[in-house]
Structure 1
Amino acid sequence: MEKITLNGEWVLSGGEFAQVKANVPGCVHTDLLHEKLIDDPYYRDNESKLMYLGELDWVYERTFFVSADMMACNKIDLICHGLDTLATVSINDHTVAKTNNMFRKWIFDIHDCINEGQNTIRIKCQSTYPYMKEKLEERYLAITGANHHRILGSNYVRKMQCNYGWDWGPMCVTAGIWKDIEVVGYHHAKLDHVQTKQSHDEHMVELQVITHLAGNIEPNKLFLDITLEHEGKHVASKVYPVKDSSTAVPITIENPALWWPNNLGKQNLYTLSVHLLDNNNQLMDNKQFRIGLRTLVLDIHKDQYGESFQFVVNGIPFFAKGGNWIPIDTFVTRGSDAFYRQQLTDVKNANMNFIRVWGGGIYESDVFYDLCDELGLCVWQDFAFACSAYPVYDKDFLDTFKQEAIDNIKRIRHHASLALWCGNNEIEYMGNMVSDALEEGKMTWDEYKLLFDELIPSLITTYDNEHSYWASSPMDDSHDRKDPNDATKGDAHLWDVWHGREPFEWYRTCHHRFNSEFGFQSFPEPNVVKSYTKKEDRNITSYVMEKHQRSVIGNETIILYMLSWFKLPTSFDMLLWTSQILQSLAIKYAVENWRRKMPEGMGTLYWQINDCWPVASWSSIDAMGNLKALHYSAKKFYNPVLISGIEDKDNLSVEIHLTNDTLEKQSGVIQWTLFHVNGCVLKEGTMEASIEANTASAVTTLNLYEAIEHAGGVRHVVLHYAFAVHDQVLSENTTYFVYPKHLELEKPDFKVGITKVTNQQYQVTVSSNKPCLWVWMELGHITARYSDRFFDLFNGQTKEVTIHMNEGLELHAFRSQLVIHSIVDTYQS
């Protein structure tokens, strides 16, 4: 095999831009930004000024050298792993092909187009706008948010849908060579793809390694050399003769080390190497990837609540804890491996075990799935359809999608983390995208079912057949499919809080089986807002702040809920911080409720984990990688062992619950203290408690009426409680009987200790003489990462926080920059 990479420097031209230095993989926007030819699209209203870039055609060009050895190959392919999107590929002025799909791997035979020596390749990326206009005139199909936060017609193009805007994302329509591009020559045969299938028995796994070859295959003249390793140790190997284009090689693994989701066990991964050899033991081709030995399925069966919707790993049902994932950046090629690792490690550290790759973005990069394997994050993978009707009537559309699906099924299927294929996001839920008969703007049910009930599951059966499939999220899988949010079965998208403006307490009325979307917005922290605003923009009703808010009801809704829960903040910065605290409360109410109801409900995936640009959104990690209050809270409400309470405001009691997601019974002590806001202990107690593995239960009720009345009423008390095993606190929580705005909290007198570890790392200890709610530290303009933030602190406790900074500070400078806040600071000087 011979290879030439075409990654690296190209020349880009389009519109008024000529001969621009470009880098591949990349896109037009990032190349123009790098050469300082455009302003930052994320700053102020630059997005609007730069939308014309998506209306231009763009040409990428470069030369490459072809050796005599390459020319001697029987077959020479140009492999484009990702072209964005409507592209014409030419080599030495010969048109090789035209492409129409961002998500496909394109392979073209170019043997007759190239010469030994210097060659020229030219890729013209046409604007998608004329194509979209033409298709809209042919038959109008609707999208949500048309002409407000989404560009009409984008549903006709097989391209990242949120590239055309979303209710949290910008309209920055990209073009370019967004994945690797290479020339590969084969002398005879090559490994087209390798598939594995597992059969589990007690203390043994039978692994089938199925190789699919292409090219000139002569029986008994080619051999497969297959090895399996675990943690650097040889496990198994086989040399197997090739007799056909498809060969299944069985491998038996005794006492396998199983792969488990985060917090349920170890993420054991085996390295599988497949070498294709000729009669002379010469290497023809090879592939290597990691697999996990496990069973991981969606389990649906009748039960006392209706019909289950739960995931089962290695025979054990588990509660799915996580969130929804969108593209890491609008310009996805800027998502470095390091940034992926940071964000997904933050997901793992928040005690999550599940992540949903949402259908309006992309099929994620290989590094994403590799990291999910390593970190124990099960993946719910949507196909790339969301919130729109799609032109299934168009044969070209259906043909290109079919190959898109095959490419991505083959690429992703081997990953230990893959848990579910899902056909689309919210097409059934929208209610105005599908109809029984042909209606303007809608798909018919026959068209819809052809794609999502027939084509996709048939492709999964053919190319995977080991993973479960769910046609739409959410969905009612009964015959009429009229109630996608049926509380007794299926998954649900619950937006009554936020879009429906129900109070947070509404979540406690929900009994849904699996909650795959629900959310609440907040603003990013002040330093992030400063990155895209001028000083005069820093009011949430300013034009620029509203441009960085894509939900029609966004800022108004944040303030509406904020006035229910908190005193109105007295500064712009404190308004931003308070919005994050508010968001964390909303999702805490939801998750704790559903975890208490296990196994009636067996999953919560909040909307959303990450951002693709700096914006007010539902994310728990902002575009710069800062953790919002919600993400710190998620670590607590997704704790494998959770203590939580339900307050009875009439009887002034609290019902205490334990939830145990671990695979072992937990026995320990509940410690609780009722504090007066001035710091006095009003009542306290301890009790032994236990909770069986993988269950949830109410364990006691604390009757606090007399103590609260004696203290002067509910505005003067806060309850803190914790569950400890062998003197180690596994979970702690706080309950109050009025909204925080009505608590008579007193300003704390913090005692602070600072220890320098390095110039970029400090440890800070803090204690208080009074109960403090939502304590957080900041360092002004300095970017830092904090081991904890937005925690409650009670007298008698000392909290240690580790702070890592991007820049070094001496002790005196760190001390002068450090500020410690609690909720009181949002409304008091």
Structure 2
Amino acid sequence: MKLFDLGGQWRVRKQGDIETIPATVPGCVHTDLLHAEKIEDPFYRDNETRQMWIGETDWIYSRTFTLDSSLLDHQHVLLQFLGLDTLATITINGSEIGKTDNQFRTWEFDVKPYLKAGENTIEILFANTMPVIQAEQRKRYLNLTGVGHHRIDGSNRIRKSQCNYGWDWGPMCVTAGIWRPIHLLAFNTGRIQDVYITQDHSQAGRVGLQIAVNLETKEASALKAKITVLHEGDLVCETEIDLSDQPNQSEAAAKASLTIEQPKLWWPNGLGEQPFYEVNVGLLQGEKVIDSTSKRIGLRTLVLDRHPDQWGESFQFVVNGKPFFAKGANWIPADTFVTRMTREHYEYLIKSAADAHFNMLRVWGGGIYEDDVFYELCDHYGICIWQDFMFACSGYAAHDDAFVANVKQEIAENVKRLRHHPCIALWCGNNELEHIHQMFLSDTPQPGFMTWDEYTYLFDGVIGGIAKQHDPERAYWPSSSHSPLGDRKDPNNPTCGDAHLWEVWHGRQPFEWYRTCEHRFNSEFGFQSFPEPQVVNSYTAPEDRNITSYIMEWHQRSQIGNDAIIQYMLSWCQLPTSFDMLLWLSQILQGMAMKYAVEHWRRSMPRGMGTLYWQMNDCWPVASWSSIDYYGNWKALHYMAQDFFAPLLISAVEDQEWGTVEVHVTNDLLHPVSGVIRWTLADTAGKILALNTLDHSNIAAGANTKVCLLDFADHLKEEGRRKLLVWLELLVDNEVVSQNLVYFIRPKHLELYDPELTAQIQMLPHGSFAVTINAKHPALWVWPEIEGVEATYSHRFFHLMPGKAVEVHVHPERAMSLQEFEQKLKLYSLIDTYHA
């Protein structure tokens, strides 16, 4: 086997033009134009509108390459594309060798007859997708959301990233290019096409591996396969398979069974370690290795458990026989131009998820099947993946045989590519086709709609069947949200399945509405905020910095967005006194909304067993539902998630009318915990009015426990609701592992004092600083800020009680002296949003 990499430097031009510009492969035309300074930053102000022509143009990528005869002496020479975006015609040395029409597939072409020793040329024409999708819509129109506001009509008619044509959090930047690696692959006798590894955990103290190696060969009798399994570099087990008894055919399968004694199991984040085993497969001709591949696996069982219970039917994930509460968020492409993503940026985001105690991400169905490195990192950090297939918020052409055939290949390829990853927990057919079925599905044929028969054929039959064929160990779920019992047209049935709960935000219900929800698994719900001032400044001019300006509304793709943020803000908070403080306050508001939801659903376990908020990340700088902005800054929500997703959580339900506080402790760990609950009633000046400490010797594993009911009716009568705060702490082994704050009135009416925040600063190694923050009076949602300097912070947006300092570690992106750091450090809290 010999590989010849065709990535690197290419040239690109408009079809019909002579002038070319440098291009990078993998890459896309937008980034090539940007690097050549042919366009301005697409994300600045409304440049996007003046760059729509890019997606309406045919582009030609080309390069020359030199081959020596040794590569051409192989029996087979294939041109292999791991990803083309999207309608491509490939030409080598003037001869057309093939066409492609699916961004999500791998494409291979036999090109030996077209190559020569010495210099060769390759050209790839990427056709403008607009005429094709418009022609398909004219044949039979299929509805999609957001047309005329944030999505281009017809984008559901092509197998390409749906959000590439816009979404209610993303721009309309229709890309083209060679977006994943390209190479020539030369071989003689045979090659390994695929390795499929299944696990048998039925015997205690051992795991059986069944390994199927699929080969492409016409001479199986001349080959053998050697399989080794290693753990941390040490050989665990091995075997060799003689293929001489295989019939001579274009495809052969080698199968082997191996046993791992005393296996080390893989666990999700927070439940245990993530050890790996390396399965190496070598294809041998005699003693010569002619091809090889390696798969890194984790030993575990990970299933979706649905069984009848007292509330209906469970929906819970079970790892290694242990049910666990799924905590996390939804993932979208992390850049509009996904080819800009680096391993370092992927790792930053996945580590940020793990640092906030996530154990699951849902890869949403309107983006892409992520790069291999994404899943490798999720394996490493213990982040389970709910994997949507790439269909979202649209009708699809189930009536078209060519479309369905294309989809079949797409699903098979991606399932086989990803199924060895221990992080993959579930395959899901689509996003929200059932949730908003009134827009896409009808019982009888109607213009714009799929029929339910067409829908079930595609998503239950075709896609579900292929997923089960190639990965029978994992569950398949046809849609999110989906109700498996009763009426399928009731997608948020609280007795079963998963739910998308948008009554807060889209429905304008108050945050308290979340506490009425009794759903089994909450896979989407969310609330928007603005990015921080430095990010907003990156895409606006000074005159744009009012949230009702044209540019600020351009960077808000939800039609109700800014209006909803302000409406809720006025319900909960005092009106901010500056543009910057409005941005910060929107983040606090977002965190409050999600805290109401998540804490309630964690208290509801085991009835509810999962909560994935919308959304974790952004693809450009924008107002959105994200908890981490496009540039990687944690919003207030992500900092708050560190607390409300903590393995041990103390939380409360206050009754403002009766003056009671019901205290709960939620334990996600696999073992019970002995803890101490400490509560303090204080006024808003910081004066302690009452306090107590309660031992709780057995906080049950994997459960929520109501620990006490506190009655403050007399204090409320005496002090009034505006002056009282209840501070809660959970201590384990004399260490505070969780804390919370209860108030009896919305924050806008609390009688807060200037907390008079102070800081002691210590310089740490590697350019970091320890900032110890104290308050004279209670301070709510405290956040330090290094003025004008990008930095990461260990914690922000926390509550501070007098006498209880909090240490925050700050790492500026550039080197700073202690003196400069002290000068630029600002300390803010809620009161600063409305007091100068």
Query: Normalised by the size of structure 1, how large is the TM-score?
Result: 0.99
**Quick check: 1:434–1:445 contact (8 Å CA) kept in 2?**
yes
Q: Which residue of 1 aligns with 2:163?
A: 162
* Residues 340-364 of structure 1: CA deviation (Å, up to 9, x unaligned): 0001100000001000000000000
* Structure 1 counterpart of 2:699, one-letter code: I
**Quick check: 1:759–1:810 contact (8 Å CA) kept in 2?**
no
* Residues 115-149 of structure 1: CA deviation (Å, up to 9, x unaligned): 11111110000000000111111000000011210
Correspondence 1:697 to 2:705: yes
Give unmatched runs, 5+ long, in structure 1: none
* Structure 2 counterpart of 1:819, one-letter code: K
* Structure 1 counterpart of 2:327, one-letter code: K
Q: Which residue of 2 aligns with 1:520?
A: 527
Correspondence 1:415 to 2:421: yes
Secondary structure of 1:410's counterpart equals helix
**Quick check: 2:332–2:367 contact (8 Å CA) kept in 1?**
yes
**Quick check: 2:304–2:316 contact (8 Å CA) kept in 1?**
yes
**Quick check: 2:225–2:254 contact (8 Å CA) kept in 1?**
no
**Quick check: 2:468–2:476 contact (8 Å CA) kept in 1?**
no
Q: Which residue of 2 aligns with 1:211?
A: 213
**Quick check: 1:759–1:808 contact (8 Å CA) kept in 2?**
no
Identity of aligned residues (%): 51
* Structure 2 counterpart of 1:344, one-letter code: I
**1:282 equivalent among 260, 284, 288:** 288
**1:564 equivalent among 559, 571, 581:** 571
Q: 1:421 deviation in Å?
A: 0.1
Q: Which residue of 1 aligns with 2:137?
A: 136
Q: 1:215 deviation in Å?
A: 2.4
* Alpha-carbon separation, structure 2, partners of 1:685 and 1:240: 69
**2:313 equivalent among 277, 293, 307:** 307
* Alpha-carbon separation, structure 2, partners of 1:235 and 1:768: 57
* Alpha-carbon separation, structure 1, partners of 2:712 and 2:311: 33
* Residues 167-191 of structure 1: CA deviation (Å, up to 9, x unaligned): 0000000000000000000111100
Q: Which residue of 1 aligns with 2:690?
A: 683
Secondary structure of 1:228's counterpart equals strand
**Quick check: 1:748–1:772 contact (8 Å CA) kept in 2?**
yes
Q: 1:758 deviation in Å?
A: 4.4
* Alpha-carbon separation, structure 2, partners of 1:480 and 1:93: 57
* Alpha-carbon separation, structure 2, partners of 1:656 and 1:500: 29
* Alpha-carbon separation, structure 1, partners of 2:763 and 2:832: 27
Correspondence 1:469 to 2:497: no
**Quick check: 1:227–1:236 contact (8 Å CA) kept in 2?**
yes
Correspondence 1:37 to 2:21: no
* Alpha-carbon separation, structure 1, partners of 2:440 and 2:397: 12
* Residues 4-43 of structure 1: CA deviation (Å, up to 9, x unaligned): 0001000000167831100000000001111111000000
Give unmatched runs, 5+ long, in structure 2: 247-251
**Quick check: 2:485–2:496 contact (8 Å CA) kept in 1?**
no
Q: 1:212 deviation in Å?
A: 0.1
Secondary structure of 2:414's counterpart equals helix
**In the superposition, relative to structure 1, how do residues 781 and 111 fare at CA in structure 2: closer, same or farther (>3 Å)?**
same
Correspondence 1:579 to 2:580: no
Q: Which residue of 2 aligns with 1:532?
A: 539
Q: 1:759 deviation in Å?
A: 7.0
* Alpha-carbon separation, structure 1, partners of 2:257 and 2:799: 55
**Quick check: 1:70–1:185 contact (8 Å CA) kept in 2?**
yes
**In the superposition, relative to structure 1, how do residues 479 and 77 fare at CA in structure 2: closer, same or farther (>3 Å)?**
farther
Secondary structure of 1:176's counterpart equals coil
* Alpha-carbon separation, structure 2, partners of 1:546 and 1:44: 10
* Alpha-carbon separation, structure 2, partners of 1:471 and 1:18: 48
**In the superposition, relative to structure 1, how do residues 326 and 703 fare at CA in structure 2: closer, same or farther (>3 Å)?**
same
Correspondence 1:665 to 2:672: yes
Correspondence 1:399 to 2:385: no
* Alpha-carbon separation, structure 2, partners of 1:446 and 1:828: 60
Correspondence 1:270 to 2:277: yes
* Alpha-carbon separation, structure 1, partners of 2:678 and 2:498: 36
* Alpha-carbon separation, structure 2, partners of 1:798 and 1:233: 47
* Structure 1 counterpart of 2:729, one-letter code: A
Q: Which residue of 2 aligns with 1:222?
A: 223
* Alpha-carbon separation, structure 1, partners of 2:423 and 2:3: 31
Q: Which residue of 1 aligns with 2:435?
A: 429
Secondary structure of 2:19's counterpart equals strand
* Residues 725-753 of structure 1: CA deviation (Å, up to 9, x unaligned): 11011110000000000000000122310
* Structure 2 counterpart of 1:592, one-letter code: E
* Alpha-carbon separation, structure 2, partners of 1:442 and 1:375: 41
* Alpha-carbon separation, structure 1, partners of 2:484 and 2:759: 56
**1:784 equivalent among 770, 777, 791:** 791
* Structure 1 counterpart of 2:178, one-letter code: I
Q: 1:479 deviation in Å?
A: 6.2
* Alpha-carbon separation, structure 2, partners of 1:403 and 1:70: 29
**Quick check: 1:81–1:180 contact (8 Å CA) kept in 2?**
yes
Aligned residues: 826
Query: Normalised by the size of structure 2, how large is the TM-score?
Result: 0.98
Secondary structure of 2:764's counterpart equals strand
**1:487 equivalent among 486, 494, 497:** 494
* Alpha-carbon separation, structure 2, partners of 1:230 and 1:506: 49
Q: Which residue of 2 aligns with 1:75?
A: 76
**2:806 equivalent among 796, 799, 806:** 799
Q: Which residue of 2 aligns with 1:324?
A: 330
Q: 1:633 deviation in Å?
A: 0.4
Q: Which residue of 2 aligns with 1:239?
A: 240
* Residues 213-232 of structure 1: CA deviation (Å, up to 9, x unaligned): 0122332x211111111122
1:4-15 equivalence runs, <5 A? 4-14=4-14
Q: Which residue of 1 aligns with 2:249?
A: none
**Quick check: 1:492–1:515 contact (8 Å CA) kept in 2?**
yes
**1:388 equivalent among 385, 394, 412:** 394
**Quick check: 2:133–2:155 contact (8 Å CA) kept in 1?**
yes
* Structure 2 counterpart of 1:12, one-letter code: V
Q: Which residue of 2 aligns with 1:175?
A: 176
